[in-house]
A and B are shown apart, each in its own frame.
Chain A
Amino acid sequence: MPIVSELMTEDDLGTADPRCQLVLLLDTSTSMGINRGPNLPLAIDELNRGLQTLHTELGEDPVARRRVELLVVPFGGSVSPLGSWQMARDWVAPTLTAGGGTPMGEAVLTGLRLATERRRQCQADGTLTYRPWVFLLTDGEPTDDVTSVPSAIAEAQEKKRAIFWSVAAKGADVRVLQEFDPTKPALRLDEANWSSLFEWLSASMTQITKAQPDQQVPLDPWLITA
């Protein structure tokens, strides 16, 4: 006797997967392309490899790949999102190049806005959403005005519109990042941990998408060492 699973296809199923937005605010300023020493790869190359890792890791989880939505917002000279929101299963890791200043303040405000807008759009469509993640990675210090950033982050987190994370690669101004969000430490990224960072990011998103949308998920604390 045929069992029911053999007679049903993906087209027979509903499509009410909850969604979790992930905004990647990635520093692509000139400093990311500077040679940091003998036998050390460029930071921008490490970043690109990390994005590939994220793509691979997320793609391997059947649930996360249907629930995580990504948007890459590089900031190097200007702030410009790469394309539109993509489901993890459809997302292709971009290859970024370094150049320009570090408009970090504008990038953070843009990321918070885009995450909030996307979440509201999903909710308007009747889709459940997890709290979006806005994930900032930089190796420098801001070259624009960042005075409004702390309050914007605080408001977004207090109103549960987004969760903000900042990661300081070598050369970053950790003090500034800490001022952005005093509620939790800025994460420090060691030279050898680029790949692990994105593995952790993927694992965190996977973990989140398997929880209730409002549930606080304890994350692997390995990186929270600052």
Chain B
Amino acid sequence: MAHHRLTGDPTASAVADQAAPVPAGAGDVGYYAVAASVIGTAHLNKGTERQDRLLMADVAGDLVICLADGLSTAVYGGLGAETAVREAFTLLSGCGHSGQASSPDDGTHPDRLPLRVLPAAHPAVPVDWSTALRSAITAARSAVLRRGGSPSDFNTTLTVVVVTADAIHVAQVGDGFVVVWDREASDRARVLAHEVVSAEDDPSLVVPLTAPNALASMLTESAPLTETSHVLVSSDGIAPLLLERWVPLVPSVKFLRALIRELDTGKMNHAGLADFLESTLVNSRTDDDKTVVLARHEPLGAAAWTDPSPHPTPADVSCVADNEPFGTERATGLSEALLVPPNHLVTGVLQQPVPDEQSQNADSDAPEFGSHTSQPTPGGSANHGRGALGERAPHGKRLPQAEAPKESHLQAEPDKDVPAPMERQVGWHDMSGAAPGTAFESPSEVATVEVASALSRQLAGAGGSDTAPQPAAGVTEPSGSDPSIPQWPDEELSRSGQRPGDSDQPSEVVASEGGMPLPGCDGEMRPSGLGGRRRREEPDGKLRWLWKWLTRGGR
């Protein structure tokens, strides 16, 4: 299996600076992906915000996509969606990481470039993606439940997808769409992990992530990919365009072909896709939020790597205005992914302080927590997407405090009449001071441990070490569906969202630039991952990371 890494636009000068040349040999495959998320006209008319949330990035050569659609009937559906994608993305971005992640830096705005994923120079850790995806959804559900208040206020769907070199893995709760088809035979398009749930004479019942039966209704599916495969991941907003039939699900071949046509000819980029989703043509068919990721799974050779012709230049996509208001109406492509580099924790949600660069450099393998000043994440809110780009510091550098972006949507109190969504407390998640053996109380942390434990086993199995770490004593690995998930309504969750032992001190959204690398990441990786050389990680270092990560409760 070939592995991939994000290297940005092949025309970029930074490519020449890559530490290790990309060996695009026979059998190597890569991706060319565009993405956009736009607000629906119904929300525009009501003055409400986009409730779709998307995080997408290359993670050690695998394309990870987390998409959530906050239900319009939920008071804080957008917040629920944001919490879900961030939690899921945080977990998945640590899986199989080879320490070779980076983000493109060609001196242009990353939002304007398609995502280009190319074979990784180093083999990544084999991952049981099916298990990882299920665990990610489990953890995301717990995170949403922990927001407090009524779970139904944060109702959202969640679709998590990983596209590897030769397969696609999907898990979801809700009604997102993942379609795979071959450009040579698009009439064989398949919708993965989706079923129209029907009660008597009531089709299309959506089971939200916070429902008691959410995990039981979770669907997972994996499918092989060929060198001519295409992948579409979307929220249900484009369902009337995407489908010919609902029961059974039949994708519209003509629609897929039209998308392929534009993607394959290089005429579609993030902004072009967003424009399409905002067009009158589309809005005449749906008024819902619309989020689409379109990826071409293609063989890579030297020609594909060096030929710049399929890629738009910044001038070609000038419709992406840098000065667009910092809003939630639209987000395109890489903007969100690049603002959350895969080698960093998505601390905007986790509310965890991060070490500053100095301490990180002092002990790259074991950054300390709790003693460093938190900073807002430039563009750290997933829903702020493209709008955040105008405020993003060049090359991922931190913005001065005075220029810090607007308050994260997660921090904002949506309505004072309603209990504020729970902000996770530093003390609750910071397990750095806990000795091995400390029992985890948070369902999410147990779920996180489950992922980490699975990872550790695979690390050991992958030959990384014979001494794979074991979960801390006292930590019971969940069995079955997920006994750790609180019942709904969760009586432990107070209306204020506080748990016993939680601090009253509100947490901050902290900068992702200096975020804690995830297990398997190179601790010396430059904050933004831009250009430069990367230190190849040794297996022992990876295991040390994992152990430290475990003892912190997966944070």
Contact = CB atoms under 8 A, between A and B. Distances in A.
Interface stretch (A48-56, A106-114, A120-128, A137-145): A120-128
Interface string B238-265: 0111111111101110110111011000
Contacts of B340: none
A63 interface: yes
A13 interface: yes
Contact of B283 (A62, A161, A211): A62
A141 B248 CA distance: 45
A63 B281 contact: no
Nearest to A116: B201
Contact of A1 (B202, B245, B284, B312): B312
B232 to A, nearest CB: 12
Interface string B200-218: 1111111000000000000
A128 B204 CA distance: 7
Contact of A16 (B72, B201, B243, B282): B243
Contacts of A18: 204, 240, 246
A5 B284 contact: no
A15 B276 CA distance: 17
A214 interface: yes
Nearest to A213: B204
Contacts of B397: none
A129 B203 CA distance: 7
A200 to B, nearest CB: 18
A4 B242 contact: no
Contacts of B239: 16
A183 interface: no
A26 B312 CA distance: 59
B275 A3 contact: yes
A90 to B, nearest CB: 15
Interface in A1-58: 1-5, 7-18
Nearest to B243: A16
Interface string B522-535: 00000000000000
A160 B374 CA distance: 53
B201 A5 contact: no
B267 interface: yes
A214 B205 contact: yes
Interface string B310-322: 0010001101000
A1 B272 contact: yes
B42 interface: yes
B279 interface: yes
Contact of B245 (A4, A63, A66, A127): A127
B282 A128 contact: no
B174 to A, nearest CB: 11
Contact of A215 (B73, B199, B267): B73
Interface string B180-201: 0000000000000000100111
Contacts of A160: 199-202
A159 B203 contact: no
B252 A161 contact: no
B537 interface: no
Contacts of B200: 159-160
B177 to A, nearest CB: 11
B286 interface: yes
Contacts of A123: 203, 247
Q: Is the interface of B mostly helix, strand, loop or mixed?
A: mixed
B267 A161 contact: no
B204 A212 contact: yes
Contact of A214 (B202, B248, B267, B317): B202
A17 to B, nearest CB: 5
Interface residues of A, number: 37
Given A3-B272, A213-B204, A126 B246 contact: yes
B267 A7 contact: yes
B205 A62 contact: no
A210 B45 CA distance: 12
A13 B317 CA distance: 24
Given A3-B275, A16-B246, A214-B205, A63 B312 contact: no
Given A4-B268, A123-B247, A128-B246, A13 B255 contact: yes
Contacts of A212: 73, 204, 206
Contacts of A17: 240, 285
A4 B202 contact: no
Nearest to B250: A126
B281 A126 contact: no
Contacts of A15: 240, 244, 252
Contacts of A214: 199, 202-205
Contacts of B271: 3
Nearest to B269: A1
B273 interface: yes
Given A4-B262, A17-B240, A161 B272 contact: no
Contacts of A126: 244-248, 250
Interface in B219-248: 239-248
A2 B267 contact: yes
B438 to A, nearest CB: 43
Contact of B284 (A62, A125, A127, A215): A62
Interface in B364-408: none
Contacts of B259: 4
B258 A16 contact: no
A1 B247 contact: no
B278 to A, nearest CB: 8
Contacts of A127: 245-246
Interface in A149-173: 159-161
A16 B276 CA distance: 19
B287 interface: yes
B454 to A, nearest CB: 35
Contacts of A119: 201
Nearest to B294: A4
Most buried by A among B246, B261, B281, B288: B246
B244 A16 contact: yes
Contacts of B196: 128
Given A1-B317, A14-B243, A213 B283 contact: no
A6 B394 CA distance: 33
Nearest to B197: A214
Most buried by B among A1, A10, A129: A1
Given A1-B317, A131-B201, 12 more contacts: A1-B316, A3-B267, A3-B271, A5-B282, A11-B254, A14-B255, A15-B244, A16-B244, A125-B245, A126-B244, A211-B72, A213-B203
* Cβ-closest 9 pairs across A and B: A14-B252, A126-B245, A16-B243, A5-B279, A12-B258, A62-B284, A5-B276, A1-B316, A4-B276
Interface of A: 1-5, 7-18, 62-63, 66, 119, 123, 125-129, 131, 159-161, 210-215
8 contacts: A3-B272, A4-B262, A5-B272, A14-B252, A16-B244, A131-B201, A131-B202, A160-B200
